[in-house]
Amino acid sequence: MTEKDLTIQNLRRENEWLKKRIELAERKIAEAETMTEHTRKLLKADKDARIVVLPCKVGDTVYGIHNRQTILPMVAKWIETNTSGWTVAAQYAPMAPKFYPFSDFGKTVFLNREEAEKALEARKDGDETDL
């Protein structure tokens, strides 16, 4: 193989490499444009007060404080809105679902057991937070 052939072969390899890099860059640009449009729609919906941020997902385990002394693991069964506002229906297996307003999350119902234990302990230490 001559030096000219090697040069041509190297240039072809570089050309293929550059084509792949350009295709990758074009895909990344398309992804960014899609994300930008999605973000624009979310910002518009937020501005129009059409966004609801859920405290958990249906099927998540949440932890409620029962009778101010026991932490119960519950499953979020459904999420609904009514005249009182948005609520999560959470159920401890043998009991009927209990409805927790979104505002109760972090106060009487928690996303993990550690947070629930901390709140229960604070209550025992004299914190008058309503559990």
Check which CATH number belongs to the domain holding 65 and give it.
2.30.30
Does residue 131 register a pLDDT over 70?
no
Q: Which amino acid is at 1?
A: M
Residue 105 included in any domain: yes
- Residue 23 tokens, joined: 């295709």
Q: Are residues 43 and 90 in the same domain?
A: no
Nearest Cα to 55, choosing from 102, 118, 22? 102
Q: Are residues 69 and 119 in the same domain?
A: yes
What 3-state class would DSSP assign to 6? helix
What residues does 24 pair with on adjacent strands?
none
Task: Give the H/E segment covering residue 98.
Answer: strand 98-101
- pLDDT at position 127: 62
What 3-state class would DSSP assign to 32? helix
The mean pLDDT of 67-94, rounded to a whole number, is 93
Residue 65 included in any domain: yes
Question: To which residue do tokens 């928690």 refer?
Answer: 110
Q: What is the pTM of this model?
A: 0.67
Cα gap 90→59, rounded to integer Å: 9
Residue 88 included in any domain: yes
Does residue 20 register a pLDDT over 70?
yes
Residue 129 included in any domain: no
- Domain holding 76, by residue range, is 61-124
- Residue 62 tokens, joined: 């949440």
Q: Are residues 45 and 74 in the same domain?
A: no
- pLDDT at position 98: 94
Cα gap 125→123, rounded to integer Å: 5
**What pLDDT digit, counting tens, does each position of 32-67 carry?**
999 999 999 999 999 999 999 999 999 999 999 988
Q: Are residues 44 and 80 in the same domain?
A: no
Does residue 118 register a pLDDT over 70?
yes
pLDDT more than 70, % of the chain: 95
- pLDDT at position 4: 84
Residue 67 included in any domain: yes
Does residue 88 register a pLDDT over 70?
yes
Q: Are residues 66 and 100 in the same domain?
A: yes
SS3 for 45-62 is HHHCCCCCCCCCCCCCEE
Domain count, the chain: 2
What 3-state class would DSSP assign to 59? coil
Cβ atoms within 10 Å of 75's Cβ, excluding its own = 16
Does residue 102 register a pLDDT over 90?
yes
Q: What is the mean pLDDT of the chain?
A: 92
- pLDDT at position 125: 74
Q: Are residues 70 and 116 in the same domain?
A: yes
Q: Which amino acid is at 102?
A: F
Q: Are residues 69 and 102 in the same domain?
A: yes
Residue 47 included in any domain: yes
Residue 56 included in any domain: no
